[in-house]
Amino acid sequence: MSVIIREIQTKNILTKSDLPVGDRSLNPYVGCEHACKYCYACFMNRFTGHTEPWGTYVDVKMWKPLLHTERYAGEEIFLGSVTDPYQPCEERYRRTRAALEELAGSGAKISIATKSDLVMRDMDILKRFSDARVSWSINTLDEDLKNDMDNAVSIERRFAAMKAFHDAGIRTTCFISPIFPGLTDVERIIERARDKCNLIWLEDLNLRGAFKPVIMRYIAEKHPELLPLYRDIYDRKIRAYWQWLDGEIGAYAEREGLEYMTAVDNIERPFDAPPVIVNFFYHGEIKKSAKKRKNLA
């Protein structure tokens, strides 16, 4: 599928964020070539005037270099809340790298979410931040399912990048998201990731967006045996599956001596400690309580 790429001028590249993982968000692009079928960021179409399907356009943001960046010292800046900062066009446009170069030395903390290994190109600059963290979304070990769902690099390339960063002493997260009921084998993914990451973040598949019919159709065609479960979860709002999975992961964590928590605070541990598993199910509710905690802090 061809992607329409154009440059746009923008004034504000950094925006205040109510995400539990950052004080500000920075998205060097609008749109995303990875075109994940479950991408909640497709709501951006409403705000940008794009009528093309999500995944078929990218606006490359051009901005004047950030000045007085010391004002962000101590803040956490999250790259990639509504786009992938390392999607293929970053190789040519280098806007993510430009943002990192402008922020280096500011004292800001950097957190990056990606499905790409292009981030390895920028390891040199990420080492200049005292507390950088890079997370890779991995919700299956099955490359066919991955290929059905997104246009990003293979799962194996994501693990290889995670290992390279971890070996280099940079904090990494395995973001097991979105968890597809009946398809995502959380324990097997944790087994693959646990020696390469500091944090394992779990998020349930949320089907509130325009992509709900797309995913339901996919399940009906490829996994019809799971359709009753999906109808229970996404039409009838029954939470039993997530409660069961929560119990399973809790029991696994206990067996393996791993910490498992449902809150989003106090998750930092020494670099060499085993990874902490964070349950971010029902994240709409958790986001609200995290915001409350942030406002109280």
- Contacts with ligand SF4 by CB under 6 A lie at 32, 34-36, 39, 41, 83-84, 115, 150, 152
Q: How far is the CB of 53 from ligand SF4 (least distance, A)?
A: 11
Cα 203 to Cα 61, 223, 277, distances in angstroms: 29, 21, 11
123/164 Cα distance (integer angstroms): 9
The angle, 0 to 180 degrees and rounded to 10, between the axes of the packed helices 240-256 and 186-193 is 30
**What minimum distance in Å lies between the beta carbon of 141 and ligand SF4?**
18
For the CB of residue 36, give the shortest distance to ligand SF4 in the complex, in Å. Answer: 3
- Comparing CB distances to ligand SF4, the nearer of 116 and 172 is 116
CA 30 to chain centre: 16
Q: How far is the CB of 39 from ligand SF4 (least distance, A)?
A: 3
Tell me the closest approach of the beta carbon of residue 32 to ligand SF4, in angstroms. 3
Q: How far out from the chain centre does Cα 207 lie?
A: 16
- Per-residue tokens: 78: 């999250």
Nearer to ligand SF4, 22 or 72 (CB): 22
Nearer to ligand SF4, 79 or 197 (CB): 79
> Which amino acid makes up residue 198?
N
Q: How far apart are CA 152 and CA 84, in angstroms?
A: 10
CA 52 to chain centre: 23
CB of 56 to ligand SF4, least distance (A): 11
Q: Rounded to the nearest whole angstrom, what is the least distance from the CB of residue 5 to ligand SF4 in the complex?
A: 14
Give the shortest CB-78-to-ligand SF4 separation in angstroms: 13
Report the DSSP beta bridge partners of residue 111: 78, 133
Residue among 41 and 253 whose Cβ is closer to ligand SF4: 41
Please identify, using beta-carbon distances, which residue of 14 and 149 lies nearer to ligand SF4. Answer: 149
